[in-house]
Amino acid sequence: MSGDERPDLDHYFMEIARVVASRSTCLRQKVGALIVKDKRILATGYNGAPSGLPHCLEIGCLRKELNVPSGERHELCRAVHAEQNAIIQAAVHGVSIVGGTLYTTHQPCIMCAKMIINAGIKKVVYGRRYADGRGLEFLKEAGIEVVYMPIDGGEEGES
């Protein structure tokens, strides 16, 4: 796309998700997400430690130290995922996201997929593939529209 072309909404919101990811405090993957409804951003989230707790940038990453492959042993990670943080922010501020679209730099994991389904999200647009495909299977089984829009080559980065 040349500099004078106006991006479509999916590309526009995915670019914003990339900027949100820049706030991540994860040592393995920087993930950003936002929830949109009626062309309006309702909430954003990036992956990082729960509020008030030390970040991985400060204390290190247990999953990295133990050589845990991407997509496995989620319970060892101290971070809240970007998709989860976006959903939580909407809840904290009393914003309904039912019927919205979630844009995320990375394919949702199984835990995030379950939250997305129960939050009433109707469409998910993601930019990088994830090692575990169960999240996508759940989303599709729930009737959620799933769109893969590759960013940075689209393949999973170091994790």
Positions marked active-site: 83
Closest CA to 135 of 77, 63, 84, 66: 84
The residue behind tokens 């998709």 is: 83
